[in-house]
Amino acid sequence: MFIKNFVSIDDVVVRNEVVEKKFACDLLKCKGACCTFKSDYGAPLLEEEIDEIRKALPAVRDYLPEEHLKQIEKNNFYEVREGEIYTTSYDRRACVFVYYDGDIAKCSIEKAFLDGKTNFKKPISCHLFPIRISNFGGEVLRFEKFSGCDPAINNGKTNGTKLIDFCSDALKRKFGLPWFSKLKEQSEV
């Protein structure tokens, strides 16, 4: 594994916890906790994602609860705080794009994508979660510790799934297949 606490792949620093952590979501146990934890704002957004979400919004609206639609109409679907962009939240509890499948919180943007109604899957911060990208003069990938993900850690340990494998599609989306291949190669050293 890593000798240091991190590895650098093409100027992206990856903390060893991202590579070594076992993780595989277990929605039946966590109920979509990552989409509903208490906060004044929702998911971090990239500036270029605002237009993508705006284009997807007509399809996404079909999945949203009425109160979330009203929240979007009243306060928009994003806000800027201290130079950072976030989705708005509903009742300081759920991302405004949450819909419920029974008692499980899910992403309406992703649902519209999976149903073929939009080309935008979901914000990259959501796709990567629980991997977070910080910027310290360059991108740094770290594991965000969140108690709501304890079932995913247990599930990952049980079935042997590493976090980078669970998040492989998101990592390839963000950094590309060649970068991901280098990360996998380094993780096996």
Q: What is the pLDDT along the chain (189 residues), one digit of tens a residue?
A: 444 788 889 999 999 999 999 999 999 999 999 999 888 888 999 999 999 999 999 999 999 999 999 999 998 999 999 999 999 999 888 999 999 999 999 999 999 999 999 999 999 999 999 999 988 888 999 999 988 899 999 999 999 999 999 999 999 999 999 999 999 998 876
* pLDDT score at 3: 47
Residue 110 counted as domain residue: yes
Residue 9 counted as domain residue: no
**Domain tally, the chain:** 1
Residue 8 counted as domain residue: no
Residue 14 counted as domain residue: no
* pLDDT score at 138: 87
Cα–Cα distance, 45 to 86 (Å, whole number): 5
Site of tokens 């310290």: 136
Q: Are 89 and 95 in contact (CB under 8 A)?
A: yes
Site of tokens 């050293």: 189
* pLDDT score at 189: 67
- Torsion angle defined by CA atoms of residues 113, 119, 122 and 127, in that order, rounded to the nearest 10 degrees: 90
Residue 7 counted as domain residue: no
133 class by beta-carbon count within 10 Å (0-12 exposed, 13-18 middle, 19+ buried): middle
Residue 181 counted as domain residue: yes
Residue 130 counted as domain residue: yes
Residue 5 counted as domain residue: no
Residue ranges making up the domain that contains 47: 20-187
